[in-house]
Amino acid sequence: MRFRGSGDADSAGRREGGGVNAPIDPVLGTIAACEGGFWALLALGLCLRYLLRRRRMSVLVLGAVPLLDVALLVAVGVDLARGGEVGFAHRLAPIYLGCTVMFAGPIIRWADARFAYRFGGGPIPAKVPPRGPERRRKEWVDFARWLGAAAIATALTLALGYTVADAPQRSGLFGVFGSLGVVTAIWLLTGPVWYSGRS
């Protein structure tokens, strides 16, 4: 009779419990790659603009940022079409896409202003005060952007749910709507409402 040693038990645990050798969720991996790609394109674009003085090439590089969103959307759709089980990453992807659409522009402008100041002789970037009308306005603007991101996430989830997803996948995808509601409520209370009360 052969007794299983600790090595056999560890191997079985990895096979059954998704240990260190468990495959990475392809959708989650794509989200991580898109996030890394965004910052890489941003850094490359700004370096081209302010360090190498290649403004036209900089515009082309920064203009490629939306292609990352397209790649992620295609990855989610393909995974669903192949019968992939809906998990956290599938529900996160539409939120991530909505946020990149609504917040990538302000992030790029924020970074551009700081690169311009440090390397291009631009003015000192303005800082938003911790309270007051300007801060209150910024919080409402950011919250409005989040509402736009949530609307995009909702539209993408519905589109995926009624095109490439089957009924069980659709049910799993639609679980994101509760999370969107929770995030919206928390953002409203800790952002615009909080800073409006402090002003």
The answer to whether 109 and 63 have CB atoms below 8 angstroms apart is no
pLDDT tens, residue by residue, 83-93: 999 999 999 99
What is the predicted pLDDT for the residue at 199? 59
In this prediction, residue 21 carries a pLDDT of 61
The answer to whether 59 and 10 are in contact (CB under 8 A) is: no
CA angle 178, 187, 148 (to 5 degrees): 75
pLDDT digits (tens, 9 = 90+) for 54-84: 999 999 999 999 999 999 999 999 999 999 9
pLDDT of residue 154: 98
Which range in 19-23, 25-29, 35-39 is most confidently predicted, on average pLDDT?
Answer: 35-39
Task: Give the angle subtended at the CA of 55 by the CAs of 51 and 58, to the nearest 5°.
Answer: 85
Of the ranges 6-15, 44-53, 87-96, 139-148, which one carries the lowest mean pLDDT score?
6-15
pLDDT of residue 1: 37
Q: Can you give the residue ranges of every domain in the chain?
A: 24-198
Q: Please state the rounded mean pLDDT for residues 150-168.
A: 97
> What average pLDDT does range 103-116 have in this prediction?
97
Res. 6: pLDDT tops 60? no
- The rounded mean pLDDT for the chain is 90
Query: Residue 139 pLDDT more than 80?
Result: yes
DSSP output for 40-89: HHHHHHHHHHHTS--HHHHHHHHHTHHHHHHHHHHHHHHHHHTTPPP-HH
- Predicted confidence at residue 27, as pLDDT, reads 96
Closest among 104, 103, 102, 98 to 154, alpha carbons compared: 98
Q: Taking Cα atoms as reference points, which of 85, 66, 101, 96 lies closest to residue 180? A: 96
List all residues 6 or more positions away from 126 whose beta carbon is below 8 Å from its beta carbon.
none
